[in-house]
C-alpha cells in the first residue's frame, strides 16, 4: 500500500478518552473521538497495545495476543471501532510486541510448569559462579536475568522482569507470531508496528558486556533478524496490502536500509532514535545535557540522505509514548509555545518519510512536570527513582531528571476541554492531567484559526496536495549554520524549501528566494531575511 502520502496518528489508548468513568481510556471513548481525527486529516491510527496484559509496562507485557483487555473493552468493541474507522477511511495500525511476552502469558506459565515445548519458547541459562549468567542490565534498570528456583535457571528479560524474551531461533515461536498477525488481518487490521523488532535475534546471550552495560551489542540487529523479518513478511502481512513499521533500537543505517527497503521484502519503514539522544550526556538517558543542535542536524541530514540513497523509507517523528514532549524538549513551551510547536511540526512533516503525530502534540501539550514520585506511574520511572537514589542523588535532582526524561511526560491524559480532568474522564484518571489543560485543550484549538491544530491540518494538506512533499529528494541547506535547520525537497520542476529557526532568538539569513512563493509561515509577513524566534517558512517554486 502507498505510505508516502499518508499521515499516521498515534493514540495511547489508556490516555485518550474514557467512556465509563473508570479513569482509563477505552475503545468506546476512542470511537467517540474519531471525527476529531478525521477532521485533522490523518489516514492511519497506530494504537499502543490493547490486548490482555497485567499492565506492568502498559500493555507491552502481553498475556494474550488475541483478546482485547477488558479495561479497553471487548473484541466486539474492537470490531465496532474497526467499522467506524473504515467508514471514515482511516486505517488501523496494531502494535505487535514480539520480542517478549508477559510472564503471565500461558506459554510462559507452561514453561514454568516444566513443559519442554514452551520452555523452549523463551531463553534460559544456568547461573555462573552462583550469580547471573551474564552481567547484562535490563533497559528498565537492574539485571536482565531472573532466577526461577523450581527450574534452577534464569530467563532473559531485556525489559522488565515480567517481560520474558521470546526465543526467535525456535521456528515454532516464529510461526506463533505469524499466526497472531494473520489473526488480526482476518479482523481487518492491515497495518502493524513491531515493537523493538531489531532485538529478536541474539548473537549470543552468554558473554558479559565488556562495558558493564546492557549487553546491546550482543542482541541488536542480530545475525538472523533480516531472515526472520522476511519470513514474517512472507507468512503474514506480505500477503495483503499492508503498511508496517519496525521500532529499531540503537540500530544502524546499513541495517535500516534493509529493514525498510523499498523492495518490500521486510517492512515498509522504521523508527530510529539517534536524533532523540542528542540531549543524553555520554549517551545516558538519565544524564542531562542541553540539546546538541549541530549533532541533531547532522544526524537528520545523514539519515535523510542515507536512507534515500539506499532506497529505504524512514518514519518522521519527535514524539511518542516513550519520549518527553518535543515542545518542552526542542521548543519553548513557556514563551513561544505556538511558534515553536509549529516550527517543529513543519520540520517533521516535510522531510522525506511518513510523519507520525502523537496524541496531543497537535494542540501543544507539554511535559507533565510532576513534582512527586507518587504522580509517576511508569515502571521505568519508578525503578530509576530508586536506582538514582541508591546512587546518592538527591530527590530534588532526581525530580529534575524525571521532569525532563520520564515517559509519563507524554502519557498524561489527552486534553479535550477545560472541564474537570480535561474532559478525559468523569472518574479519577489513572495518571494525573497536566494542569495547563484549562488553556491547552482541543476545544480551544478548534476555536482559534491560528492554532497549532489548524497548522497541522495545513501541513497534512501540503502532503496531500504536493507530490514533492511525498516523493521529493531531500537536499540539506545551511549545513554549517548553528541556529537554522533548512532543507529543500526537489522533484522534477518542483522545489519546496523549509527554513526553521530552532532557537528563541532572531537570526538573519541569506537565501535567494527568487521565484518562490511562501506557502506557509508561522509569523505574518515573513521577509525571508530576518527570522524571528522559532520562525519557520515554507517556500515553493515550480519552473
List interacting residues with ligand TEU (CB under 6 A). 57, 60, 97, 139, 159, 195-196, 247, 249, 285, 321-322, 380
Count CB neighbours of 352 within 10 A: 21
In the complex, least distance from residue 402 CB atom to ligand TEU, rounded to whole angstroms: 12
SS (H, E, C) 426-484: CCCCCCCCCHHHHCCCHHHHHHCCCCHHHHHHHHHHHHHHCHHHHHCEEEEECCCCCCE
In the complex, least distance from residue 470 CB atom to ligand TEU, rounded to whole angstroms: 27
> How far, in Å, CA of 175 to CA of 191, rounded?
19
61 vs 339 by CB, closer to ligand TEU: 61
228 vs 503 by CB, closer to ligand TEU: 228
> How far, in Å, CA of 222 to CA of 203, rounded?
6
Q: Say which DSSP state 49 is in.
A: P
Q: Does residue 247 have an active-site annotation?
A: yes
Q: Say which DSSP state 438 is in.
A: G
- Helical spans, DSSP H, in 153-263: 171-186, 225-235, 253-259
In the complex, least distance from residue 16 CB atom to ligand TEU, rounded to whole angstroms: 16
139 vs 352 by CB, closer to ligand TEU: 139
In the complex, least distance from residue 380 CB atom to ligand TEU, rounded to whole angstroms: 5
229 vs 469 by CB, closer to ligand TEU: 229
Question: One of 57, 214, 221, 247 is an active-site residue; which one?
Answer: 247
199 vs 440 by CB, closer to ligand TEU: 199
Q: Does residue 176 have an active-site annotation?
A: no
Scanning the structure block, which residue is given the C-alpha cell 489543560?
A: 437
Nearest-CB residue for ligand TEU: 60
Contact indicator for 161, 146 with CB cutoff of 8 Å: yes
Q: 339 in helix, strand or coil? A: helix
43 vs 380 by CB, closer to ligand TEU: 380
In the complex, least distance from residue 384 CB atom to ligand TEU, rounded to whole angstroms: 9
> How far, in Å, CA of 378 to CA of 160, rounded?
11
In the complex, least distance from residue 356 CB atom to ligand TEU, rounded to whole angstroms: 12
* φ/ψ (deg, to 5) at 388: -70, -35
162 vs 304 by CB, closer to ligand TEU: 162
How far from 387 is each of 160, 161, 421, CA to CA, in Å?
14, 16, 32
Q: What angle do CA 245, 247, 250 make, to 5 degrees?
A: 140
* φ/ψ (deg, to 5) at 373: -60, -30
In the complex, least distance from residue 11 CB atom to ligand TEU, rounded to whole angstroms: 14
> How far, in Å, CA of 445 to CA of 442, rounded?
5
249 vs 470 by CB, closer to ligand TEU: 249
In the complex, least distance from residue 321 CB atom to ligand TEU, rounded to whole angstroms: 6
- Of 302, 86, 311, 54, residue with least CA distance to 191: 86
* φ/ψ (deg, to 5) at 516: -90, 145
> How far, in Å, CA of 355 to CA of 366, rounded?
19
How far from 218 is each of 158, 255, 266, 444, CA to CA, in Å?
12, 15, 22, 49
Contact indicator for 53, 108 with CB cutoff of 8 Å: no
Question: One of 61, 146, 195, 339 is an active-site residue; which one?
Answer: 195
Q: What residues are annotated to the active site?
A: 195, 247
Amino acid at each position: 500500500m502507498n505510505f508516502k502520502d499518508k499521515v499516521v496518528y498515534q493514540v495511547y489508548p489508556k490516555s485518550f478518552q474514557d467512556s465509563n468513568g473508570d479513569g482509563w481510556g477505552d475503545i468506546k471513548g476512542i470511537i467517540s473521538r474519531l471525527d476529531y481525527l478525521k477532521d485533522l486529516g490523518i489516514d492511519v491510527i497506530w494504537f499502543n497495545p490493547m490486548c490482555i496484559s497485567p499492565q506492568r509496562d502498559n500493555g507491552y507485557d502481553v498475556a494474550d495476543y488475541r483478546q482485547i483487555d477488558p479495561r479497553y473493552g471487548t473484541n466486539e468493541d474492537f470490531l465496532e471501532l474497526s467499522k467506524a474507522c473504515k467508514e471514515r477511511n482511516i486505517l488501523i495500525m496494531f502494535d505487535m510486541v514480539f520480542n517478549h511476552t508477559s510472564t503471565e502469558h500461558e506459554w510462559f506459565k507452561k514453561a514454568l510448569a516444566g513443559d519442554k515445548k514452551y520452555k523452549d519458547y523463551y531463553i534460559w541459562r544456568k547461573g555462573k559462579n552462583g550469580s547471573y549468567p551474564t552481567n547484562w542490565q535490563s533497559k528498565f534498570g537492574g539485571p536482565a536475568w531472573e532466577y526461577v528456583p523450581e527450574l534452577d535457571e534464569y530467563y532473559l528479560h531485556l525489559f522488565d522482569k515480567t517481560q520474558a524474551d521470546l526465543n526467535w531461533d525456535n521456528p515454532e515461536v516464529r510461526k506463533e507470531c505469524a499466526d497472531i498477525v494473520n489473526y488480526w488481518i482476518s479482523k481487518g487490521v492491515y497495518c502493524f508496528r513491531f515493537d523493538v523488532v531489531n532485538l529478536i535475534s541474539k548473537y549470543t546471550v552468554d558473554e558479559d558486556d565488556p562495558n558493564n552495560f546492557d549487553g546491546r551489542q550482543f542482541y541488536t540487529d542480530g545475525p538472523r533478524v533480516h531472515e526472520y523479518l522476511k519470513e514474517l513478511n512472507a507468512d503474514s502481512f506480505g500477503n495483503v496490502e499492508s503498511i508496517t513499521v519496525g521500532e529499531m533500537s540503537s540500530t544502524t543505517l546499513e541495517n535500516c536500509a534493509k529493514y525498510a527497503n523499498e523492495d518490500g521484502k521486510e517492512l515498509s519503514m522504521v523508527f530510529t532514535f539517534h536524533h532523540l539522544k542528542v540531549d543524553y550526556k555520554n549517551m545516558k538517558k538519565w544524564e542531562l545535557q542541553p540539546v546538541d543542535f549541530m549533532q541533531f542536524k547532522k544526524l537528520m541530514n545523514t539519515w535523510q540522505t542515507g536512507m534515500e540513497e539506499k532506497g529505504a523509507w524512514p518514519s518522521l517523528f519527535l514524539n511518542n509514548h516513550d519520549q518527553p514532549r518535543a515542545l518542552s524538549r526542542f521548543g519553548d513551551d513557556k514563551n513561544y509555545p505556538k511558534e515553536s510547536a509549529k516550527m517543529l511540526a513543519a520540520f517533521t512533516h516535510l522531510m522525506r518519510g511518513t510523519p507520525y503525530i502523537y496524541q496531543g502534540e497537535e494542540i501543544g501539550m507539554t511535559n507533565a512536570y510532576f513534582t512527586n514520585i507518587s504522580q509517576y506511574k511508569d515502571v521505568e520511572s519508578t525503578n530509576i527513582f530508586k536506582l538514582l537514589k541508591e546512587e546518592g542523588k538527591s530527590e530534588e535532582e532526581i525530580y529534575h531528571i524525571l521532569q525532563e526524561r520520564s515517559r509519563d511526560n507524554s502519557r498524561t491524559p489527552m486534553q479535550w476541554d477545560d472541564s474537570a480532568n480535561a474532559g478525559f474522564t468523569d472518574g479519577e484518571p489513572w495518571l494525573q492531567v497536566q494542569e495547563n489543560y484549562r488553556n491547552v485543550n482541543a476545544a480551544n484549538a478548534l476555536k482559534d484559526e491560528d492554532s497549532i491544530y489548524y497548522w497541522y491540518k495545513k501541513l497534512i494538506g501540503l502532503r496531500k496536495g504536493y507530490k514533492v512533499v511525498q516523493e521529493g529528494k531531500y537536499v540539506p541547506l545551511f549545513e554549517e549554520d548553528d541556529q537554522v535547520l533548512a532543507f529543500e525537497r526537489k522533484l522534477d520542476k518542483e522545489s519546496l524549501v523549509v527554513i526553521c529557526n530552532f532557537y528563541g532568538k532572531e537570526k538573519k539569513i541569506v537565501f535567494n528566494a527568487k521565484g518562490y512563493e511562501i506557502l506557509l509561515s508561522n509569523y505574518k509577513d515573513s521577509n525571508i531575511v530576518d527570522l524571528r524566534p522559532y520562525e519557520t517558512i515554507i517556500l515553493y517554486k515550480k519552473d
